[in-house]
Amino acid sequence: MSREKQRGLRGPVRLALIAVLIMATVWLQACGANNSSNGNAKDSANAGASASTGTETAAAADKDSKVPAVLNYGYIGSNDKNLPGGAEGWGFYKGIIQAELKKYGIEEVKLTGFPNGPDQTESLISGRLDFGGLGDTPAIIAAASGAKTRLINQTTITNIGYLISGPNGPKTVEELKGKTIAIQKGSYMHRYVVGLLKQAGVTDYKLVHMLIPDAQAALAKGDVDAMTNTGYTAQKLLGQGYTLIDDSTKHPELHGTGVTVVSESYLKKFPDFPKVWNEARQKALEDLKQHEDEYYQFIADLNKTTVDLAKKVSPISDITVEPFPAEGITRITGTKDFLVEEGLAKKDYKIEDWEVK
């Protein structure tokens, strides 16, 4: 082909090629834009989901970060195992409660035993404890005095008070007229004996505050005429020939109830704690009921007594299932009313307002 013909064809071919290239470029850009749009939409969705998940995780982490890793729990009693009884003690003993609390960032629970409720409430008020289990009377008195606590359950509604004298001491409540009685001031046993004496019309008596070991020593020496006592130590003394003047099984309205209270400052750090605690306690109770023989042996070991006595003094049936049984609220309200009437509680308030539900 001549150069002239080649030159003649070159122009149209070049234009055709350019046109094809332009069309291909437009098509590729369109596809790319479309793919990019879809990809960006997906990436955007993923990013949104990631951001949402991240936000939720951050929120959860932030929530968890407010829950201290160490939880400080107080209970009444002293034993080699450093454990309370009941569903709480069993739960700690078997590790059930620790496992439940760990889900919420609590890595360690420090347990501290106290000789009586008033001592425990002082530690709760001061911030050394986060929460604790004790008799209702000291808990009510503390709350009435302005302690920033909330009621999260009743562990039992049958705390029994005993009134005991020496082998040759008074045998009836009426015989306590003019006598000296050792009590644990501010405890449910204090409330029991004052209520008992009031019902009997005995007004001429003297109450002295003594912890149980000191009261037992004073009773043995004749320095006091009678003392209030709890189940295991009462049964031990009765076995030695001491006299049972009375116990609250004859006066159910004077039964104490066991309660769990938490500080308001801890609730601010862990608002869901009452629900979490009650659910963990419920799991421990369910497990306890499946291992009754082992549980009674556990209680016997705690109190250095026999299984038979453990069954008598601490029957499983006395452990509450519901956080606030109706009969329990009636009893604790009666205790509160009595304490207010006697001037032992500084101000009146509604138990329902104290509860965390």
Alpha-carbon 270 to chain mean position: 12
Separation in Å, CA 25 to CA 14, 22, 28, 39, 201: 16, 5, 5, 20, 108
> Are both 75 and 101 inside the same structural domain?
yes
Task: Yes or no: say if 285 and 149 are a contact pair by the CB < 8 Å rule.
Answer: no
The single-letter code of the amino acid at 92 is: F
The single-letter code of the amino acid at 316 is: I
- What is the rounded distance in angstroms from the CA atom of residue 104 to the CA atom of residue 88? 18
- What is the rounded distance in angstroms from the CA atom of residue 298 to the CA atom of residue 287? 14
- What is the rounded distance in angstroms from the CA atom of residue 344 to the CA atom of residue 22? 97
Over range 176-191, report the average pLDDT.
95
Over range 140-163, report the average pLDDT.
96
> Are both 166 and 142 inside the same structural domain?
no
Q: Is residue 118 part of a domain?
A: yes
Task: Yes or no: say if 164 and 229 are a contact pair by the CB < 8 Å rule.
Answer: yes
Over range 97-120, report the average pLDDT.
96
Give the per-residue pLDDT at 90: 98
Give the per-residue pLDDT at 47: 33
**pLDDT digit string, tens, across residues 216-236:** 999 999 999 999 998 999 999
Q: Is residue 287 part of a domain?
A: yes
- What is the rounded distance in angstroms from the CA atom of residue 127 to the CA atom of residue 121? 10
Q: Is residue 20 part of a domain?
A: no
Q: How many domains does the chain have?
A: 2
Q: Is residue 222 part of a domain?
A: yes
- What is the rounded distance in angstroms from the CA atom of residue 201 to the CA atom of residue 111? 42
- What is the rounded distance in angstroms from the CA atom of residue 258 to the CA atom of residue 69? 27
Of 253, 271, 300, the last residue of a domain is: 253
Over range 116-141, report the average pLDDT.
96
Tokens matching residue 280: 């963990």
DSSP state of 160: P
Task: Yes or no: say if 150 and 354 are a contact pair by the CB < 8 Å rule.
Answer: yes
> Are both 92 and 226 inside the same structural domain?
no
Residue 18 pLDDT exceeds 90: no
**pLDDT digit string, tens, across residues 23-67:** 433 333 433 433 433 333 333 333 333 333 333 333 343 444 589
Determine the structural domain holding residue 82 and report its residue range: 68-158+256-309+318-354
Phi, psi at 304, each rounded to 5°: 50, 55
How does the average pLDDT of the chain come out, rounded?
85
Over range 72-85, report the average pLDDT.
94
CATH number for the domain including 213?
A: 3.40.190.10
- For CA atoms 287, 280, 90, 211, the dihedral sign is negative
Separation in Å, CA 39 to CA 47, 56, 62, 166, 325: 12, 25, 33, 90, 59
> Are both 191 and 123 inside the same structural domain?
no
> Are both 154 and 260 inside the same structural domain?
yes
Over range 338-355, report the average pLDDT.
94
Which residue reads 């082992």 in tokens? 294
> Are both 104 and 154 inside the same structural domain?
yes
Give the per-residue pLDDT at 66: 82
Of the two residues 161 and 15, the one the predictor is more confident about is 161
> Are both 154 and 183 inside the same structural domain?
no
Give the per-residue pLDDT at 196: 97
Q: Is residue 35 part of a domain?
A: no
**pLDDT digit string, tens, across residues 267-324:** 999 999 999 999 999 999 999 999 999 999 999 999 999 999 999 999 999 999 999 9
Residue 208 pLDDT exceeds 60: yes
Look at 61-70, 107-116, 233-242 and tell me which has the smallest mean pLDDT: 61-70
Give the per-residue pLDDT at 355: 97
> Are both 173 and 232 inside the same structural domain?
yes
Q: Is residue 189 part of a domain?
A: yes
Phi, psi at 295, each rounded to 5°: -65, -45
Give the per-residue pLDDT at 65: 54
